[in-house]
Amino acid sequence: MERDIESLLNTALTAARKAGEYQKERFLRPTEVFFKGAIDLVTDVDRESETIILDILREATPDDVDILSEETPFNATNAPLLWIVDPLDGTTNYAHGYPCFSVSIALQEGRDLTLGVVYNSVTGDCYTAVKGKGAFKNGRPLKVSNTARVEHALLCTGFPYDVGTSRRNNIREFSTVIRRAQGIRRDGSAALDLCRVAEGAFDGFWELKLKPWDVAAGVLIAREAGGTVTTLEGAPFDLFADTILCTNGLIHEALQILLHEPA
């Protein structure tokens, strides 16, 4: 990569922190809520956060970078680098006053994720990774857990926005795994869920029908902390894949098999 990766990382950190601080400042204050679908929300805070982030990214990398962001139409120019942005991951939580949401920014070169930043807007914790250089939380190295059995594992998942109308809604998978795992959480921010696998708080995470901006930064952070990331079928993970399974590696095969058992 011709550009200095540390400079790009600092740009992403600046953008994530500025947007996250804005979100915390606006949290629990009146917010405009709009519906993109029956239960798919967007708020004025999502949109303002996106403006903050994109302005910083465009100023720092004006010529050779495309930007894929949740609330803005994608205009690809086939630039060598691609920023992937979720300005507010956990919008439903935010709109309801539940303090679990984040900013997610990743950079992709070709098909390779090269850096990721996830900023916890509530706590100020910042997760970062650069490909091949490890993952960190507030500068402290991260490592996945050493839990070796699903029965001892704390897992996390989520449900797609069409959970009420589609038969592929994760309810069968959840019903099967909840009977075997030590516990399952449903936090509502995939970016933070992946980071919590990276730091060993969760032993595994799976979900269906996520978008690239939901997972890009978190996937790199989890990988760099020693995690394994595939599709639910065990195929190599792709940002446009329809499913994701991320674990500490030790329970990956067992959890994958379990996710395909009947409820």
Q: What is the CATH number of the domain that holds 162?
A: 3.40.190.80
Q: Where a domain ends, among 118, 141, 164?
A: 141
3-class DSSP assignment, residue 91: helix
pLDDT tens per residue, range 190-215 = 999 999 999 999 999 999 999 999 99
Same domain, 128 and 201: no
**What does the block give as tokens for 230?**
């595939």
Same domain, 161 and 131: no
pLDDT tens per residue, range 113-139 = 999 999 999 999 999 999 999 999 999
Same domain, 137 and 190: no
DSSP letters spanning 5-33: HHHHHHHHHHHHHHHHHHHHHHTTS---E
Residue 118 phi, psi dihedral angles, 5° rounding: -125, 125
Same domain, 15 and 132: yes
3-class DSSP assignment, residue 259: helix
User: How does the average pLDDT of the chain come out, rounded?
Assistant: 93
Same domain, 196 and 83: no
How many domains in the chain?
2
User: Distance between CA 110 and CA 108 in Å, rounded?
Assistant: 6
Same domain, 9 and 110: yes
Q: What is the CATH number of the domain that holds 19?
A: 3.30.540.10
Report helix angle 5-26 to 44-60, nearest 10: 160
- Give Cα separations from 83 to 53, 72, 94, 119 (angstroms): 11, 13, 24, 16
pLDDT tens per residue, range 54-67 = 999 999 987 789 99
Same domain, 112 and 134: yes
pLDDT at residue 33 greater than cutoff 50: yes
Same domain, 129 and 37: yes
The number of C-alpha atoms within 13 Å of 173 and in the hemisphere containing its C-beta is 26
H or E element in which residue 65 lies: strand 65-69
- Helical residues (DSSP H) of the chain, grouped into ranges: 5-26, 44-60, 91-95, 171-178, 190-198, 212-224, 252-259
User: Distance between CA 262 and CA 42 in Å, rounded?
Assistant: 35
Same domain, 212 and 163: yes
Same domain, 17 and 101: yes
Q: Where a domain ends, among 97, 115, 141?
A: 141
Same domain, 99 and 136: yes
Closest CA to 100 of 19, 163, 204, 23: 23
Same domain, 135 and 156: no
pTM for the complete prediction?
0.94
Q: Which residue range is the domain that position 30 belongs to?
A: 5-141
